[in-house]
Structure formats: structure tokens, C-alpha cells
Structure 1
Amino acid sequence: MAKIVILGAGLGGLVAAFEIRKTLDRKHEVAVISESDYYQFVPSNPWVLVGWRDREEITIDLAKPLRKRGIELIVGKAEKVDPPAKCVHMPDGSKVDYDYLVIATGPELAYDEIEGVGPSAHTQSVCHIDHAEDAAKAFEAFCEKPGPMVIGATQGASCFGPAYETAMIIETELRKRKIRDRVPITFVTPEPYIGHLGLDGVGDTKGLLESEMRDRHIKWVTNARIVRAEAGKVIAEEVNDDGSVKETHEIASDYSMFLPPFRGVAAVRDVEGLSNPRGFILTDEHQQNPTYPEIFGIGVCIAIPPVGKTPVPVGVPKTGFMIESMVEATARNIAQMIKGEKPDHRASWNAVCLADFGDGGVAFIAQPQIPPRNVNWSASGGWVHLAKVGFEKYFLHKLRTGQSETFYENAALSLLKTHKLKGVERG
């Protein structure tokens, strides 16, 4: 009998728990370590910010669906992963032993690396439901006394879609409230161009997103490095291709939201052979750690080299479709290892994304996610917003009822069928 422990209960961790439970014989134990006793659907947080969703609508109590699947839930923040001892140390002095460990912690939000950035300082966030709720309160106060606004991502961020979504959703809500004319909006990003997304663009995301911003009268600054945020303003350096400062922008802002730099969580940082200097988990093509083959990494917490050199550090996003392919490969590789076989399953690392803009949006497919690609497609329209709403409801319903399936893959295949795209493989 083997014990498989999943560290983290976000998208990757939760789907991994379901998939591993489904793949393995019931005589094997599956346990999840989670900081909280609930799951939050992070993609909906921009909607929380503008009041279109509340906490209850996008969170799920973990106990019931996990118990239904025969998965143990351990609530607590892991203190340190101890690979030589094959255990996870907990803050109360206890430890959780494992035969196989799947690390799916997501990132630590490194607000402390940039002066004045973060919910406890001068900028808002949509990275956590708690942050989104605070951002919603601040947004309501802002709407009572509108002024300039700055939205974007900092240097070292590894996810850019939510920044674009937040800017567009806020813009849509401001128009609904008839105060858009009183709110100048500036989008600030380390990307070398609008629509880069950490992927060197997908299809015509550059043209689609630039057009969307022009239509919505949103100004932008690319190749930007945030120096600091203060009450009432953001200071950013726009850099040249060689990294030298082209211009320093001092942008007035009565409401700011930035996606922060990402790093690995403290429980895995500085563990020799397990993580890189930023704390991201080192994995091979089978999602295995090269030093500790009984440890697997999936999702945002793993180390992926940048798509290419950029003047300002730009991380690579790990999308839901891509994460699910990591989960499927990991579950099957663990099953092989338990049987004494050599693991040979690999993740496809394809991307299918829906970026909601409140009353429209942009969808794109990248196969594989890292270029060069076999499929490189993007499109925009009101259907994207409807598709995102539909997926949210479908995903949360399936989780609440404890059903195990590849959520993003099913949604993606439906999207592909709708648009009659050819040559796109299953995730």
C-alpha cells in the first residue's frame, strides 16, 4: 500500500487528488494538505472586485467532496518539505509521511519585493478571495469619488490574463455606473508588448488586445518596471531593449491593482535539489523532480524557463488546460511507479484560455503553449464572456458534487467543436 500526499488544494492540487484517487486502487491512501478548509475559484476574483460575485458563490467547502472520493483532508500550512525523510513538517510539530508527494502549492505572492505594492500597502489584488473582497470595498469607495486608475502586473509576474481581465471588467462596470468619463485608466506591464501574455503572444492577441484597449480608451506602458507605489501615484520605469531606462513615469492613481512577482512558497524554498533560487519546483518531462523521483510538481509552483529574453523579467503562465495535462501525466506515472515500472507519461502543455472583459473577451489556443506551435489561434467576441460564465458554473458544480473529470479539457473540446478548429489534440 502506498500513501500519496498532495500539497496544495488549488486548481492543480484538487484535480490531482481526484485524478490520482480515480487512477489508483482503493487500497492506496490519498491525502491533501491545504492551508484552508475551502477551495476558491480564483478566475472569478475580478468579478468579486466589481461586485458581480460574492465569496459564497465562488468558494467550496473541501471536506464533503474529498470525503466522498475517499480522500483525506489535512488542514494546515506546511512548514517544510523534508525529502530525505519523505515527510512534510507541520507548524504544530507533527509530520505527514508520504511515499509519493505531489507539490501543487501555487506561488507565494512576493509583494514585499516592490515598495508600496500589495493589499497591506497601496495597491489592490485579485490573487486571493480575501484580497478581492478588500479590493471590492476599496472600489466602492473609489466610485463615490472617481479619479485616475492604474491596473497591471509587476516585473516577475507569471500570469497576465487576470490583469487584462481586471482592467476591462472595471472599465465595463464604470460605464454601467455612468462614471467612466471621470476615470482615466492606464495599464502598466513588464510585457514587451500588449498581448505578449508571457507566451510571446498567441495568434493575434497583440492586435486584439491593443484594439480592445484603444476602443476602451485605456492607455498603456509596456517594458515597465514598477519602482514603487505610493498613496495617489505609481512610479514606473519604462526600459529600452538593453535594459536601460527610457523614461520614468509618475502616474496619478486613486485606485491601483497589480499582479505581484511570484516565488515558491517557504515550505519548498531553499530545499537543495528540490527548487530553483526563486523557490519553484524543478521537474523533468514526467513532472518528476530529478533529485527526488518520488516527488512530482504541477501547476504554477514549477520552474519553467521564460519563452524568450525580455528587457523586464516576464514569467510563463501555467494555464488550467496545461495544469490538467500535468495532473494526468503525474497520476499515471505514480501508478506506474507503484507497479515497479518506469514512468513514461508526459504532459502536453497546451493552452486553451478564455479572458473575460465583462461584456466580451478574447479566447486563444496554443498547442503547445511554448512556441513554435502547431496551433496558434485567437478570437474575440461577446461569446467569450458567456463561455467564461458557463465554465465557472460547470466547474464549481462538478467540484461541489465531488465529480472527477478533466474540467478544462471538456470545456476546451466544446469550444473547439463550436469553432470547428482542426488539428487540435486532446489535452
Structure 2
Amino acid sequence: MTRLTRRQFTTALAAGAAGLAMPSYLRAQDKPKVVVIGGGAGGATAAKYIARDSDGGIDVTLVENSETFTTCFFSNLYLGGFRDFRSITHSYDTLVSAYGITKVTGMATAVDRAAKTVTMADGTSIPYDRLVLSPGIDLLWDSVPGYSEEAADVAPHAWQAGPQTELLKAKLDAVEDGQNVVMVAPPNPFRCPPGPYERASMMAHVLKAKGYTNSKVIIIDPKDKFSKQGLFQPGWEKYYPGMVEWYGPDVHGGIKSVDVAAGTIETDLDTFKGALLNIIPAQKAGAIADGLANDSGFCPIDAATMRSTMDEAIYVIGDASIAGDMPKSGFSANSQAKIAAMNVRGDLTDSKVFPAKYSNTCWSLIETDDGVKVGAQYEPQDGKITSVTSFISQPDEDVALRKATYEESIGWYSGITADMFG
């Protein structure tokens, strides 16, 4: 047995204590390092699959500014009273305890691509060999004249789930009979294409359930058509006659200004007044990805890997990416994360990489037990993620099928959140 001198023992003890005091993402020197920024459907999934499938061979750090994550998908069902807030809010505990992922709660403020480090708001720096960016969206406040980040405290967007979701719910519940809700829908491209129209359905559901049939949900849309339009509009006529009004740009002529204090939206057609204004502005990739975005505000990627076209050490997944035919959705982000995770492992451990195949389904609830869906399978073709097969609910489906579709969505939510958070 080798004996340590007292000086050697003291030195070793001090070194060990220093190691314990250091964050784990600075201690693991013997493994390749992956940093994942963003803990949603893309980031949480990527972190889990990289850690799990590398069998501990990769040191994974997940950076997310919140202790828990509230999903945007299914937040409309909370708004409509079909779920409680706790059911759409999830913990990272299992990712840490079961998969050995280091969770850093804080804001990532910069990426030094030359040094391969991520700078945190507190000044600490996290090194990486590969970086996965899944920062979601930032809102372009001035895309709606008169709207701002401060105005969102009065006229919530609730397009980034959490406190805004709860605020929108509280304001909806405070609407009285005869008062209107006025929504400004976002321009393309944006997170969850059917989302604003499912939200309008849930708002109408809440008002109708109270007997407030003199109230309206008015949608001012910058687009001349929208996702599942052939399903939503007949649904509104069936369940909420006279309660949901949709105005495209050829009718309203454009938004001139929003006055959140007065509760008004001025258009070329008319000035609409609402006891609740729900303003959803235009969007871009989360700010941490700015250096990897093109003029669209989103990040181009290699269709076969989700690797940034601007930096081979970085992958961009979810809403921040330009993913060809795939919509910006939780399902899409989860699917893309698995392709990125596979390729990250291939980069760092020489594990086998298989051809990319992606999928997406978006479910929407129009009224109790009346669910509809749209989706597709995708493959890389000619440098783009391309739809190869697709499906959509039909207007003439019977009630049993619509109920089954809704129940399918409940099962999917349970499944995807278990897949994301372990």
C-alpha cells in the first residue's frame, strides 16, 4: 500500500474539496461535453436521449431559466377548464436523478462559438464540445402597433406558457355577459399554427358554459387562411353560433393601432373593443440563437441532422429552427430532438447514425369530446425536411371518432411529457 505523507494528504483533501465546490459541468474533464439550452419539448428530450443512449459516456448539462416547465401545448385546455395548471407543469427531477443530467437554472446570455463556451447571466461560463439550442421563440413586440412587453401585463399573449397563461385565464374568467374578447393572431411562421383557433374555441366554450351567448370572440388575423380552417369554422357555427367572428386581412384591412388601456384595436374596417385583448405578435428564434439565424429570424439547419448550417458544433431544434415542411410544434420539437441527439452521439462517441425520419401530429379541441388533428411524416429531400405522407380530420366525421381523437390526444400528452421529462 502506498502511504501518503501528511502534506500529500492535505493537498489531496484540498483538491477534493475544491472539486466538490465546483459546478459539475466544470468538473467532468474526462468526457465529451454537451450543453443543451432550453428545457422544453426539444431541449429536455435531447438532453435525456443524449445522456441515456450514451450510457454515461457524455456529460450533459441542461440550461433552463425556470425550475419547472409549463407546456404551451395543452395550455388551451387549461384555459377552457378541461385541465388544471398543475397538470401542464413539469419537473426536471427525473432527468437529474435517473439520467445524470446537470440542470443549471439560469439564463444563458451568450455563446462564444470560437471558444465553445456558453456564458450565463451570473458570469459563469460552461464549456461544450457540442451545443444543442432549443430556445423556443421570442416575441416581436412592435409587430403589432401599440403593443409592448409592458402591455402584455394588460393584454396577455400567453404564447410563452407560465404566468402569462394564468393571467389570460384569470382575465377570461372575469369577462361578463355582453363583453367581447378580441384576439390578434400572429403572422406566419409562428409557434403552433392551429393554436390561436383552438384558443378561440376554448374561450367561446367558457363563455357559452356561463350562458354568456351575447359575448363574442373576435379574431383579427393578418393571414388570409389558417390551419384547420375547414374544421374550426364549421365547429364554431355548430357549437357557438354567432359567438366567434374571424376577420382576414381582406376584410379588416390591417391593424393601425392597439390601445390596451382602452381595450381597443383599430383597423381600417372598424375599431374593435374587448374587455379582454389577447395579442399574439410575430415571432423569431429565441435571442440566444440570433447569431445562427438568417433574415427570417429563424435558424437554417441541415435537414438530415438538425445541425446548424452556420456552425457544425451546434444543433438547432424546435421552434427556433427552419424545419422545412414541419410546423413549429411540441411534437415536431420532440421528433427533431431525437435526430439531433443521435447525431450528437455519432459525433462524440462514433455510435451508429441512422437516416432521419421525422413526424408530427397537432390535435385541437373544438368543444367537449370534439377533437380534430392534422399531421405528417417527413424525410430529408433535396436539402429540406419534406412531408412524405399526411393526414387531417374530415368535416363529416361522426361523434364517436371525434371523441376518440380527443382521447388520443390525452394519451399523447401523457406519453410525450413522460418522454421529455423521464
Q: Identify the TM-score tier after normalising by the shorter chain.
A: 0.7 to 0.9
Give me the TM-score of the superposition, normalised by structure 1: 0.78
Asked if structure 2 preserves the Cα contact closer than 8 Å seen for 1:153 and 1:259, the reply is yes
- Alpha-carbon distance in structure 2 between the residues aligned to 1:154 and 1:137: 22
Asked if structure 2 preserves the Cα contact closer than 8 Å seen for 1:21 and 1:71, the reply is yes
Residue from 377, 384, 392 that aligns with 2:392: 377
Gaps of 5+ in 2: 1-30, 380-384
**Residue number in structure 2 paired with 1:243:** none
Asked if structure 1 preserves the Cα contact closer than 8 Å seen for 2:50 and 2:58, the reply is no
- Alpha-carbon distance in structure 2 between the residues aligned to 1:376 and 1:398: 24
Q: What is the CA deviation profile of residues 43-97 of structure 1, one whole-angstrom value per residue up to 9, with x for unaligned ones?
A: 1222333444443222122134332211110110111111111111111111111
Residue from 227, 251, 254 that aligns with 2:275: 254
Residue from 314, 319, 323 that aligns with 2:333: 323
Greater CA deviation, 165-174 or 206-215?
Answer: 206-215
**Residue number in structure 1 paired with 2:256:** 227
Would the alpha carbon gap of residues 187 and 345 (structure 1) be closer, same or farther in structure 2, given more than 3 Å must change? Answer: same
**Residue number in structure 1 paired with 2:6:** none
Matches within 5 A, 1:19-168: 19-117=49-147, 119-143=152-176, 146-156=178-188, 158=190, 159-168=192-201
1:353 aligns with 2:362: yes
Matches within 5 A, 1:282-297: 282-285=300-303, 286-297=305-316
Gaps of 5+ in 1: 198-204, 237-246, 308-315, 404-427
Would the alpha carbon gap of residues 283 and 387 (structure 1) be closer, same or farther in structure 2, given more than 3 Å must change? Answer: same
Would the alpha carbon gap of residues 390 and 69 (structure 1) be closer, same or farther in structure 2, given more than 3 Å must change? Answer: same
**Residue number in structure 1 paired with 2:298:** 280
- Alpha-carbon distance in structure 2 between the residues aligned to 1:29 and 1:167: 44
Give me the TM-score of the superposition, normalised by structure 2: 0.78
**Residue number in structure 1 paired with 2:209:** 176
Asked if structure 2 preserves the Cα contact closer than 8 Å seen for 1:330 and 1:345, the reply is no
**Residue number in structure 2 paired with 1:191:** 223
Would the alpha carbon gap of residues 89 and 277 (structure 1) be closer, same or farther in structure 2, given more than 3 Å must change? Answer: farther
- Alpha-carbon distance in structure 1 between the residues aligned to 2:201 and 2:195: 10
Asked if structure 2 preserves the Cα contact closer than 8 Å seen for 1:154 and 1:226, the reply is no
Asked if structure 2 preserves the Cα contact closer than 8 Å seen for 1:110 and 1:263, the reply is yes
Q: SS at the partner of 2:87?
A: helix
| Cα-Cα RMSD | 2.7
Q: Quick check: which has more Rg, 1 or 2?
A: 2
Would the alpha carbon gap of residues 268 and 110 (structure 1) be closer, same or farther in structure 2, given more than 3 Å must change? Answer: same
Q: SS at the partner of 1:43?
A: coil
Greater CA deviation, 366-375 or 2-11?
Answer: 366-375
